[in-house]
């Protein structure tokens, strides 16, 4: 560990010695101090080191602490402005679990993430976490994205999309990462396709209780790996023409045909919503001029199940949900759902008869 950092102040050079997390700070001790930093100051995670050279590197907001995943509990669940879920497990170097065990632990969390959190469950848990703190989650997300005019639903659509494709980020945070853990992180991050596996060292320097310097360093990232995995970037407004062009180039003609039929219908009926998203997608407006459905390029649907999307007309919402549930790819129970749910299947899983029925349902509710 570096013994000190050098401060230059008004022409005077002085040294700040390394300070162990065991000493704690701000009234916190041991791992509590490390976890307190991550919870209160997620901006400590250096996005510029995660995505070097990117015009707008990732920045982070906390979604939930002690996030349930399977039968375990993750220390922190965050997300960046691109909707990439970021799982963080924090251990001090002196904790035996800061060795190889923590790598297996966070990978096990990742293995169960999509099953545990998709279908709107992640958003519901995050909403509950911030509601208990008397903070509006929508404000937290707007501050993260920096785009107050953008739909909050667009952000959560991205989160759902990234979860479904296992496009997530794993971070092992510590005051010092052991050499064997560094090697494992570097190897896994090099070899995995969508998942980023990184280490985060946060070192503390200073002698006073309330004045100290923190130096965060990302472990396991190289420029080559960052370039390979940086597939999220500036969002695109997917116009009708751009979507048509994209669909024309799809290899799966069955999927392309169904999506184009739905896209053309939405445009002709005046219910098409051109979305600003990372991935090709479009929305469908309901009777109350709010989005009731997002259609993804994969052929999966995200249906809004909150009352607001239906003008607080509970009868209209229930009628729409009951009609969708007659089809094989929908199984919605809207009670206690904060926002919406993904379909269990794809548009290509519908038989021709079901697809015709699906289009009729949309016509009756838009």
* Token pair in block for residue 112: 């169960």
Q: What is the pLDDT of residues 297-310, one digit of tens each?
A: 889 898 988 888 99
Angle at 151 between CA 150 and CA 153, to 5 degrees: 145
| pLDDT for 186 | 87
**Cα–Cα dist 127/123, whole Å:** 6
Give me Rg for the CA atoms of the chain: 23
Using DSSP's 3-state secondary structure scheme, residue 286 falls into coil
What residue spans of 41-120 are helical by DSSP H?
A: 47-50, 100-117
CB 276 within 8 Å of CB 265? no
pLDDT over 80 (residue 348): yes
Q: How far is CA 111 from CA 98, 104, 219, 256, in A?
A: 20, 10, 22, 30
CB 42 within 8 Å of CB 216? no
| pLDDT for 355 | 97
Percent of the chain having pLDDT more than 70? 87
Closest CA to 58 of 196, 199, 232, 193: 232
pLDDT over 90 (residue 200): yes
| pLDDT for 142 | 81
pLDDT over 70 (residue 24): no
Angle at 284 between CA 282 and CA 290, to 5 degrees: 120
Domain ranges of the chain: 4-229, 236-364
**Cα–Cα dist 90/74, whole Å:** 9
Q: Give the residue with greater pLDDT, 134 vs 9.
A: 134
| pLDDT for 155 | 85
pLDDT band of 279, cuts 50, 70, 90? confident
Report the mean per-residue pLDDT for the chain. 86
Q: What is the pLDDT of residues 201-252, one digit of tens each?
A: 988 888 766 677 888 999 987 666 556 655 555 556 889 999 999 999 999 9
The residues, any chain, with a CB within 8 Å of residue 8's CB and separated by 6 or more, are none
* Token pair in block for residue 137: 């989650």
pLDDT over 50 (residue 149): no
**Cα–Cα dist 38/59, whole Å:** 13
The mean pLDDT value for 137-153 works out to 73
pLDDT band of 311, cuts 50, 70, 90? very high
Q: Angle, to 10 degrees, between the axis of helix 100-117 and the axis of helix 152-164?
A: 120
Closest CA to 18 of 2, 7, 33: 2
Percent of the chain having pLDDT more than 90? 46
In this prediction the pTM is 0.67
Number of C-beta neighbours around residue 266 at 10 A:
21
Q: What is the pLDDT of residues 256-266, one digit of tens each?
A: 999 999 999 99
Burial class (CB in 10 A: 0-12, 13-18, 19+), 107: middle
**Cα–Cα dist 331/73, whole Å:** 28
Q: Give the residue with greater pLDDT, 67 vs 342.
A: 67
| pLDDT for 73 | 92
Number of C-beta neighbours around residue 262 at 10 A:
22
């Amino acid at each position: 560990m570096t013994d000190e950092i050098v401060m230059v102040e008004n022409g005077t050079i002085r040294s700040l010695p390394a300070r162990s997390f065991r000493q704690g700070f701000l009234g916190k001790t041991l791992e509590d101090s490390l976890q307190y930093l991550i919870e209160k100051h997620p901006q400590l995670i250096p996005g510029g080191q995660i995505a070097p050279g990117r015009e707008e590197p990732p920045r982070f907001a906390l979604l939930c602490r002690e996030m349930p995943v399977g039968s375990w509990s993750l220390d922190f669940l965050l997300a960046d402005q691109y909707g990439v879920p970021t799982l963080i497990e924090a251990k001090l170097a002196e904790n035996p679990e800061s060795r190889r065990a923590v790598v297996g632990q966070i990978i096990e969390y990742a293995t169960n993430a999509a099953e545990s959190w998709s279908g709107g469950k992640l958003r519901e848990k995050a909403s509950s976490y911030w509601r208990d703190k008397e903070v509006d989650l929508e404000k937290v997300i707007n501050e993260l994205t920096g785009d107050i005019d953008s739909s909050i639903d667009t952000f959560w659509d991205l989160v759902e999309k990234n979860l479904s494709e296992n496009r997530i980020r794993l971070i092992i945070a510590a005051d010092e990462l052991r050499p064997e853990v560094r090697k494992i992180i570097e190897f896994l991050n090099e070899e995995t396709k969508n998942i980023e596996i990184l280490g985060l060292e946060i070192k503390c320097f200073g002698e006073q209780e309330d004045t100290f310097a923190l130096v965060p360093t990302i472990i396991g990232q190289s420029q080559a790996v960052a370039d390979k995995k940086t597939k999220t970037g500036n969002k695109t407004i997917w116009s009708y023409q751009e979507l048509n062009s994209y669909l024309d180039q799809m290899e799966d003609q069955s999927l392309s045909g169904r999506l184009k039929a739905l896209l053309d219908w939405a445009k002709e009926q005046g219910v098409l919503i051109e979305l600003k998203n990372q991935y090709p997608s479009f929305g469908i407006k309901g009777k109350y001029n709010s989005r009731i459905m997002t259609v993804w390029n994969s052929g999966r649907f995200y249906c809004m199940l909150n009352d607001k999307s239906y003008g607080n007309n509970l009868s209209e919402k229930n009628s729409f949900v009951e009609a969708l549930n007659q089809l094989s790819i929908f199984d919605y129970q809207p009670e206690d759902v904060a926002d919406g749910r993904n379909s269990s299947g794809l548009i290509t899983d519908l038989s021709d008869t079901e697809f015709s029925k699906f289009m009729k349902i949309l016509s009756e509710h838009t």
